[in-house]
Amino acid sequence: MGLHKPDNVAGSSAPAIMVGLFVATGGLLFGYDTGAINGILAMDTFKHDFSTGFTDENGRPGMYPGQVALIVAMLSAGTTVGALLSAPIADQWGRRLSLIFAIGIFCIGAIFQVAANNVALLATGRTLAGVGVGMVSVLVPLYQSEMAPKWIRGTLVCAYQLSITAGLLAASIVNILTYKLTTAAAYRIPIGLQLTWAVILAGGLLILPETPRYLIKRGYKEAAGLSLSRLRRLDITHPALIEELAEIQANHEYEMALGPDSYKDIIFGEPHLGRRTLTGCGLQMLQQLTGVNFIMYYGTTFFNGAGVDNPFLISLIMQIINVVSTFPGLFVVESWGRRRLLIVGAIGMAVCQLLIASYATASGDTDIPTQHRILISFVAVYIFFFAASWGPVVWVVTSEIYPLKVRAKSMSVSTASNWILNFGIAYGTPFMVDTSAEAANLGSRVFFVWGTFCILSIAFVWFMVYETSKISLEQIDEMYERVDKAWHSRDFEPSWSFQQMRDFGFSESGIPPAQPQLELQSSNASSSQSDTGGSSTTNATTTTTTTTTTSSQDDKMLSQMGHIDLSY
């Protein structure tokens, strides 16, 4: 399954895995906060306490549609703002402090909501909590990818999606448990509970290390060494650690030699930043256009409208499938790779959706139990494919494909495009499905729309997504330089050493001189390098260049390390 640490990886991956899994639980806030509101809005006590005069057809107090839209939409507005804010903050304060800050804003938002006794205060709390969630949604995968060893990087980011799904499930369960209460506790408990995990997460982050890559970006080489030493459980003087750090630094210098790191550069900059940003934004938008949140947000209403018995239970079952099915993705993301998993997932989702839509069109919207069973089964299989592929892998790919200099900026823009579409779909779906005069009355045929986007997604992955498994974040730069077609990326073998390239001067095109020329230069320059103690070892696939003046002890160490993979 590819979840065993390769024998030739130096040090221990356990600290990085534990840190990565702990930070992944930031996804709980994301899932819980987006999931809790639907149930809360449906609670009688909530409607009674917040109604400003609106009554439903049975004369019971309720909310004006504009108020419901405000409460729901403010979270999305907040998340988009939060995602965009996260980049300047993360580049200035670091990934870890920014995460603590984001959780702080989230907590203030949650406290506003718990204390709210009117719509204005509630909407303000939702906006603030949204800003926090939006920031978390960029910073967690950013933090994880920048500290993880390459062999398990994708799996760790998948664990973040697992937490999102667990948060969504937890929100439904808590709502079910409290909705019958006749006091304000019915909605205050579900809102307040999210504070518990937020505080634990922020507390834990206080003692976790900053990512080595961020520290290199800011020029704090020593601190980067200490951080990497904690994460890899290797002494700061260990050659493998020195090598990893030197390669990260040389790669960053290489990126900077190709141009600045401004917002303009995420589109026009090198190496191929426009293509990479487009890939991330496209993936994030398509993830939403697969229609998953139609089920997550409107599942109960949809099953109810289709005449299914016990729509609450069915929605809960879908949430459980969503959590459990993330595991297969988590186990195969490294061995299958990102591209294959995304393509298989999109095919599976498209087939389910087109079958649901075709069946619904052919049989009409009748109230037949067999039809319900077919509908429920295909929705369940669809959720399986989403949860095992596009749910986690989109976060994985967008946390990997950008170079360090613009990583936070590009991730924040692509994640913001996810939230904008998230909002658009949450807001627009009722207009597509409803039976009212202004709506398109698509019913189950709305699955034609999602199915079509899934087919588009297959093509998008084939043409745009590069295979990023098994190589280090630095080697991904080399891949974008050397492989011009995404569908050839699977066969890519890294061969550049950014240190060697730096030592002999980056060429303007960013492409290093031919290998024999480098080797020649390397042997001429060897003695001066050993004087400064600079490491001139190349990465995994190239040979180690030893110098004539290296001490015999170093020689012994290097020969013992011949089998060690120095490119994490």
**Which positions from 320 through 339 interact with ligand BGC, judged by CB under 6 A?**
322
Is residue 432 within 8 Å of 298, Cβ to Cβ?
no
- How many Å apart are CA 499 and CA 502, to the nearest integer? 5
Q: How many residues does the chain have?
A: 568
CA distance 315 to 41: 16
Q: Do residues 416 and 84 make contact, with C-beta atoms less than 8 angstroms apart?
A: yes
Contacting ligand BGC (CB under 6 A), which of 391, 403, 443, 510?
A: 391
Work out whether 163 is an interface residue with ligand BGC (CB under 6 A).
no
HSE value, Cβ hemisphere, 13 Å, CA-based, for 230: 14
Of the ranges 104-112, 128-136, 259-267, 290-298, which one interacts with ligand BGC (CB under 6 A)? 290-298
Q: Which residue has the tokens 């299989």?
A: 381
Kindly tell me which of 50 and 423 has the beta carbon lying closer to ligand BGC: 423
Beta carbon of residue 183, minimum distance to ligand BGC (angstroms, whole number)? 30
- Ranges assigned E (strand) in 425-514: none
Count the site residues for ligand BGC by CB under 6 A: 12
Cα gap 101→93, rounded to integer Å: 10
Positions 114 through 133 that interact with ligand BGC (CB under 6 A): none
Binding pattern to ligand BGC, positions 497-526, x when CB under 6 A?
------------------------------
* Contact pick of 84, 114, 162, 164 for ligand BGC (by CB under 6 A): 164
CB of 43 to ligand BGC, least distance (A): 21
Q: Single out the segment in contact with ligand BGC by CB under 6 A; choices: 66-74, 238-246, 286-294, 438-446.
A: 286-294
Four-point Cα dihedral 448, 452, 455, 457, nearest 10: -130
Mark the segment that binds ligand BGC (CB under 6 A) among 47-55, 225-233, 253-261, 292-300.
292-300
How many Cβ atoms are within 10 Å of 485's Cβ, its own excluded? 9
Contacting residue, 28, 292, 341, 357, with ligand BGC by CB under 6 A: 292
Residues 400-439 that bind ligand BGC (CB under 6 A): 418, 422
State the nearest-atom distance from the C-beta of 167 to ligand BGC, in Å. 9
Question: Among 13, 76, 98, 293, which residue interacts with ligand BGC (rule: CB under 6 A)?
Answer: 293
Tell the smallest beta-carbon distance from residue 425 to ligand BGC (Å): 9
- Tell me the closest approach of the beta carbon of residue 372 to ligand BGC, in angstroms: 23
Measured CA to CA, the distance from residue 318 to residue 85 in angstroms comes to 33
CA distances from 71 to 124, 127, 187, 193 (A): 9, 9, 14, 19
3-class DSSP assignment, residue 55:
strand
- What lies within 8 Å, CB to CB, of 489 at 6+ separation is 339, 466, 467, 479, 483
- Concatenating the DSSP letter of every residue in 128-185 gives HHHHHHHHHHHHHHHHHHHHS-GGGHHHHHHHHHHHHHHHHHHHHHHHHHHTT-SSTH
Asked if 98 touches ligand BGC (CB under 6 A), the answer is no
- Among the residue ranges 36-44, 95-103, 289-297, 551-559, the one whose residues contact ligand BGC (CB under 6 A): 289-297
**Structure token pair of residue 257:** 């030699």
User: What is the smallest separation between the CB atom of 73 and ligand BGC, expressed in angstroms?
Assistant: 15
Q: How far, in Å, CA of 544 to CA of 562, rounded?
A: 8
Q: Does 25 bind ligand BGC (CB under 6 A)?
A: no
Nearer to ligand BGC, 266 or 388 (CB): 388
Taking the complex as a whole, the smallest distance from the CB of residue 567 to ligand BGC amounts, in Å, to: 29
Cβ 391 to ligand BGC shortest distance, Å: 4
Q: Name the one range near ligand BGC by CB under 6 A: 122-130, 159-167, 301-309, 461-469.
A: 159-167
What tokens were used for 504? 């002999």
Residue 71 or 234 with smaller CB distance to ligand BGC: 71
Q: How far is the CB of 427 from ligand BGC (least distance, A)?
A: 14
* Options 127, 155, 165, 530; binder of ligand BGC; rule CB under 6 A: 165
- Nearest-approach distance from CB 422 to ligand BGC, in angstroms: 5
On whether the CB atoms of residues 189 and 39 are closer than 8 A, the answer is no
The least CB distance from residue 131 to ligand BGC, in Å, is 17
Write a three-state SS string for 267-282. HHCCCCHHHHHHHHHH
Minimum distance from residue 451 beta carbon to ligand BGC (Å): 18
- Give 459's contacts (C-beta < 8 A, 6+ positions apart): none
72 is an interface residue for ligand BGC by CB under 6 A: no
246 to each of 52, 257, 281, 490, how far by Cα in Å? 63, 16, 31, 26
Q: Which residues contact ligand BGC by CB under 6 A?
A: 161, 164-165, 168, 287, 292-293, 296, 322, 391, 418, 422
